[in-house]
């Protein structure tokens, strides 16, 4: 008898009831169906224009939605009616395919120089896991390209017999992958998600012989896809539109070439010719960690070259003859001038370059040279990379770079977490093509010569009102016992803004107990000073009294792309992969 009682106590209450449409949806239906039981295509069209802000929607669009819904929901081959019930209308609004929160088309101007865009950028793109002992592989590169990532980083080293080139994270236990394999995979998948250019940044630790070998591999693999500039370096960068389906190589010019150039210049200087700014890069003061990755490149290259240094004097000439082929591949020159950070951020009138700063160096720069950084990024490319201590492939806050106009905020795409969700969110903009036009204020110079200062106290530009109606789909995507062994889950939603510091905030709904289809019906207002850089953060958690709350989905959406009105918002797992069914019904309004 006792054991029987136990069973009774723990009967699982897992019945999933369909939640009724929220009051706002009933009210909208009644209003636009003019009190009738059905909403016609014409009435739906009015709703799309008035409530959903779809001024360009046609009656034909509305008819298409009605046909699609009736076919999908009622499998009517021949329609007896051409109108929607309240349930059909609710189903339409709650369908992530038919009524998404942002568009999927490229709509930014793609004819400005590359420096005018935030570019989706990977760091150590070849690592499968942590920075110290994971395998190097072309698989994460392929995954990143399929996500729309447009900048791939490869660390290139001689193999053990010094006759071929491997990709690996130097001085760690990561197992290498052959460079040629990575190049072939890039060629195959570069444009699977976007037609816009892919930049390969090379961390080069090679001898001149192997640089020549890389030049050959790259040229043979990419052929006409490879973009080689006509002149030695850009005065202004070309546009994403012009570079469609092209591959761009970015690294420091070969050392031997620079040394020869330096010698040539010394001779010129003796004839009173002014030395150009395009000089041989000096050492940064260590505490600035500017281009540390590039600095280690120099020291590694010199280690690799030590064997060669002891050969006879004619060798440099042979090496020099190999440098041009490799140098000719480099469309976007990396490197930095001599001196400190102020010097590194100088804008040269007739030359565009790429500068790399670690996340700590950027934070220092923000404190002392914020507007210099903005001015630099109006013409040149700034790449930010994670500090070396992030062994577990974690990431930093991308907005620190974006606020200053940094185009390449490089991320460990395998380091899942909130910062990577922000990266995914930013690059959902502009149809997910991997290039997002920077806001005008980052590109403008004011009449008094000043540029945007992210530290300035700015007024509120607009307020985003967000209503969280309800959620659904967990019972389809999760096991019944996933959140709680004996009862339905207790969900709550966190919603807020990532952006400039003054805009950042998170709020949360009340928890909805024992419900697979929770209805919250709560509204939040977010005043925004810089809406152009704001991302809407949404997370759902399941309340757990005894342990950490369970994760139940997330998304991050660029505020500038949000469609007003009532929208279905699909949620993603921790890795940023979309759930099949989990979604929220939300309303967005700008005031």
* Integer Cα distance of 286 and 284 in angstroms: 6
| Residue 101 and residue 131 in contact, taking contact as beta carbons nearer than 8 Å | no
List C-alpha distances in Å: 261 to 207, 228, 233, 267, 316: 18, 20, 14, 10, 13
* Integer Cα distance of 468 and 568 in angstroms: 10
Q: Angle formed by the axes of helices 59-74 and 86-93, to 10°?
A: 100
Angle subtended at Cα 121 by Cα 573 and Cα 157, rounded to the nearest 5 degrees: 115
Contacts for 469 with CB less than 8 Å, ≥ 6 apart: 22, 24, 25, 519, 520, 521, 566, 584, 585, 586, 587
Please confirm, yes or no, whether 169 is among the known catalytic residues.
Answer: yes
Query: Catalytic pick from 45, 169, 333, 424?
Result: 169
Q: Percentage helix, strand, coil, to 5, in the chain? A: 35, 25, 45
Query: Catalytic pick from 45, 90, 123, 424?
Result: 123
> Across 351-498, where does the E strand assignment appear?
354-358, 381-385, 408-411, 435-437, 462-472, 491-498
Angle subtended at Cα 564 by Cα 416 and Cα 148, rounded to the nearest 5 degrees: 35
List C-alpha distances in Å: 52 to 457, 563, 580: 33, 7, 25
* Integer Cα distance of 535 and 126 in angstroms: 28
* Residue 437 dihedral angles phi and psi, to the nearest 5°: -65, 130
**Cα 442 → chain centroid:** 18
Helix (H) or strand (E) segment spanning residue 535: strand 535-542
Four-point Cα dihedral 316, 322, 325, 329, nearest 10: -60
Please confirm, yes or no, whether 271 is among the known catalytic residues.
Answer: no
List active site positions: 123, 169
């Amino acid at each position: 008898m006792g054991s029987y009682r136990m069973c009774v106590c723990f009967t699982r209450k897992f019945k999933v009831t369909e939640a009724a449409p929220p009051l706002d949806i009933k009210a909208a239906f009644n209003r636009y169906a003019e009190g009738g039981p059905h909403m016609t295509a014409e009435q739906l069209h009015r709703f799309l224009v008035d409530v959903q802000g779809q001024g360009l929607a046609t009656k034909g669009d509305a008819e298409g939605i009605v046909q699609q819904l009736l076919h999908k929901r009622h499998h009517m081959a021949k329609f007896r009616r051409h109108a929607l019930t309240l349930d059909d209308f609710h189903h339409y609004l709650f369908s992530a395919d038919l009524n998404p929160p942002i568009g999927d088309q490229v709509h930014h101007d793609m004819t400005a120089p590359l420096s005018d865009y935030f570019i989706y950028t990977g760091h150590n793109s070849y690592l499968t896991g942590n920075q110290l002992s994971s395998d190097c592989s072309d698989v994460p590169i392929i995954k990143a390209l399929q996500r729309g990532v447009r900048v791939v980083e490869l660390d290139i080293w001689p193999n053990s017999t010094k006759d071929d080139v491997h990709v690996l994270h130097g001085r760690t236990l990561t197992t290498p992958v052959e460079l040629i394999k990575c190049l072939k995979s890039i060629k195959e998948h570069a444009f699977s998600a976007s037609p816009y250019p892919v930049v390969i940044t090379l961390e080069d630790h090679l001898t001149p012989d192997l640089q020549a070998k890389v030049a050959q591999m790259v040229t043979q693999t990419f052929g006409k896809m490879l973009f080689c500039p006509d002149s030695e370096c850009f005065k202004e960068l070309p546009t994403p539109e012009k570079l469609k389906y092209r591959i761009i190589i970015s690294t420091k010019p070969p050392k031997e070439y620079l040394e020869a150039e330096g010698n040539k210049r010394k001779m010129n200087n003796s004839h009173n010719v002014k030395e150009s700014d395009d000089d041989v890069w000096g050492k940064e003061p260590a505490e600035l960690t500017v281009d540390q990755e590039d600095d280690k490149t120099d020291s590694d290259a010199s280690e690799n070259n030590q064997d060669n240094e002891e050969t006879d004097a004619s060798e440099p000439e042979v090496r020099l003859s190999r440098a041009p082929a490799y140098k000719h591949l480099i469309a976007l020159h990396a490197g930095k001038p001599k001196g400190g950070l102020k010097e590194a951020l100088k804008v040269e009138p007739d030359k565009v370059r790429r500068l790399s700063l670690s996340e700590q160096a950027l934070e220092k720069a923000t404190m002392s040279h914020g507007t210099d950084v903005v001015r630099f990024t109006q013409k040149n490319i700034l790449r930010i990379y994670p500090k070396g201590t992030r062994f577990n492939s974690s990431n930093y806050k991308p907005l620190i770079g974006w606020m200053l106009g940094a185009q390449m905020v490089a991320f460990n795409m395998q380091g899942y977490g909130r910062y990577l969700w922000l990266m995914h969110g930013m690059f959902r903009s502009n149809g997910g093509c991997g290039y997002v036009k920077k806001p005008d204020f980052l590109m403008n110079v004011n009449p008094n010569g000043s540029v945007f200062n992210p530290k300035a106290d700015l007024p509120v530009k607009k307020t985003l009102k967000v209503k969280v109606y309800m959620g659904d789909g967990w019972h389809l995507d999760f096991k019944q016992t996933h959140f709680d062994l004996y009862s339905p889950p207790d969900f709550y939603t966190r919603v807020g803004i990532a952006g400039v510091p003054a805009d950042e905030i998170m709020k949360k709904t009340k928890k909805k107990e024992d419900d697979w289809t929770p209805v919250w019906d709560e509204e939040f207002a977010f005043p925004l000073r810089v809406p152009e850089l704001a991302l809407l953060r949404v997370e759902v958690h399941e309340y757990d009294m005894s342990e950490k709350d369970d994760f139940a989905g997330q998304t991050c959406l660029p505020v500038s792309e949000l469609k007003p009105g009532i929208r279905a918002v699909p949620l993603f797992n921790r890795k940023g992969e979309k759930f099949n069914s989990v979604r929220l019904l939300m309303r967005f309004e700008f005031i």
